[in-house]
Structure 1
Amino acid sequence: MSTNDFQDRGVVVTGAGSGIGRATALQFAARGARVLVADLDRARAEQTVADITAGGGTAVAVVGDLSEQAVVDEVVRTAVETFGGLDVLVNNAGIMDSMSAAADVTDTEWERVIRVNLTAPFLLTRAALPHMLAAGKGAIVNTASEASLRGSAAGAAYTASKHGIAGLTKSTAVMYRAQGVRTNAIAPGGTVTNIQVNADRDALGPAVLGSYMGNVGKPASAEEQAAAIVFLASDAASNINGVVLAVDNGWSAV
């Protein structure tokens, strides 16, 4: 990929105030993209925008809960009005569960994790697609997880949500490939970010999952995950569609 391969393309990155999302927004901007930074945390979102503009790039922030339709509509409307179109959507924002086994998951935990990790990416994909279809092109990249590939990487709610992301990715890829829209996902393994896990270590879930975590290997940096996202959104990946790419230092191969 060249250093300006996204010149003047409109890119939305969710969860871009920190971690993988922030690293992704910065890498897109460094390659000439105009980036909409979507995040729940205003200070973090505005800091990402400030860092992009300080480097000579173009960015704007939209702050809010992406599981709400009104926020989703604002994100897409702002991107289209500010950038003249929407070329790339990165559905990265997500939350962890408490590693709870199915019998221990509360309604509140289940509904919140599914809403943020699966429903929000669906809402954003649905809102972005008409603009991509009108342009005859577009790329969507979802952040799935090692938990999309196995049942031993997280609790019941998170695992179900990330398996859902894998399904949404593949379905969208099949449905819209003839119209020029590609949809892929990365499946990160252990990664150094600030995502929070509040687990009761005496509960069944953590007790069972702990025996599998020795295979994680060396954690990735947020920048390594971002590089995979940017690649999948790029023209260099023009014939890659419907892939859930493990970026996990071989954890899924163990």
Structure 2
Amino acid sequence: MNPVCLITGAAGGIGAATARLLASRGARLVVADRDAEGLAAVAAELSPRTEVLARIIDLTVEAEVDALVEAAVTTFGGLDQVSLTAGMESPHGTLEELSLADYERVMAVNATSAFLCLKAVLPHMKRAGRGSIVSTASIAGLAAVPGQGVYSAAKHAMIGLTRAAAVEAGAFGVRVNAVLPGPIDTGMVTRIRAGSASTPVGGGTLLGRMGTPAEAAAVIAFLLSDGAAFVTNSYWTADGGRHQI
């Protein structure tokens, strides 16, 4: 039976690219996002290729996350893979310039949503004795990004949650890893770079270019797959070497 994969933040960018790649490999998909129009477009594109369950959701609301996971399990009989791809950048500004509301919103969309998804998904995977989860953090989770301090804090938190889940779930046969994209050609990165005082040519990477959503999705798909059966509690950068500069 082809695997069932839940993808959050599936309406665009890396999430949509991950959905397309997994659909091409025969995975049955549960795609979720708060962007109704974008999600509908992705679902319509992929439905001819595979089974798709689409849900418009606010991932910061526990009851909605729980209902999403229950719908996935009821529809497909279980969950094999989860890609936690939803996220947002911080309003550009120094820590003293940002409001508490700014901080709470960025932490909620990035870190709290990951916590709620892990909390809802892990019991099902533990009972099944198998499963793979990949969270999409960022190289901002390894070092501060000027003007994006709260975003950086949220991505540090995502890496911590990933590792905690891996430690707790490993004995049950569940793997949990993180992918840390760098300059990927998405709307989010475009907005972050627009607020930066300087924008490095080629994304400031060793490869001299920005990455594509499909390239980040390929790393996510590998970590979700049985090809990474002995990989857990790790993070993989997909940044063209940006973090090493």
Which category describes the TM-score, using the shorter chain as reference length? over 0.9
Mapped pair 1:116 → 2:109: yes
CA RMSD of superposed structures (Å): 1.9
The partner residue of 2:53 within 60, 65, 68 is 60
Task: Output aligned runs, 1:96-107, within 5 Å.
Answer: 96-107=89-100
The one-character-per-residue Cα deviations of 1:175-210 (angstroms, maximum 9, x if unpaired) are: 111110100011000111122737995xxxx44xx3
Q: CA deviation at 1:234?
A: 0.4
Q: Distance in 1 between matches of 2:143 and 2:92?
A: 14
The partner residue of 1:77 within 67, 70, 80 is 70
Q: Which residue of 1 aligns with 2:217?
A: 226
Q: CA deviation at 1:33?
A: 1.1
Aligned residues: 241
Is the contact made by 2:193 and 2:199 (CA closer than 8 Å) also made in structure 1? Answer: no
Mapped pair 1:26 → 2:20: yes
The partner residue of 1:165 within 158, 180, 192 is 158
Q: Distance in 1 between matches of 2:232 and 2:158?
A: 14
Q: Which residue of 2 aligns with 1:4?
A: none
Q: Distance in 2 between matches of 1:153 and 1:245?
A: 22
Q: Which residue of 2 aligns with 1:130?
A: 123
Q: CA deviation at 1:159?
A: 0.4
The one-character-per-residue Cα deviations of 1:20-42 (angstroms, maximum 9, x if unpaired) are: 00010111111111101101111
Q: Distance in 2 between matches of 1:222 and 1:81?
A: 30
The partner residue of 2:6 within 2, 12, 16 is 12
Is the contact made by 1:187 and 1:244 (CA closer than 8 Å) also made in structure 2? Answer: yes
Mapped pair 1:156 → 2:149: yes
Q: Where do 5+ consecutive residues of structure 2 fail to align?
A: none
The one-character-per-residue Cα deviations of 1:114-142 (angstroms, maximum 9, x if unpaired) are: 00000001100100011000100011100
Q: Which amino acid aligns with 1:102?
A: L
Q: Distance in 2 between matches of 1:154 and 1:83?
A: 43
With normalisation by structure 2, the TM-score equals 0.93
| % identity of equivalent residues | 38
Change beyond 3 A, Cα 1:103–1:199 = farther
Change beyond 3 A, Cα 1:11–1:120 = same
Is the contact made by 1:98 and 1:199 (CA closer than 8 Å) also made in structure 2? Answer: no
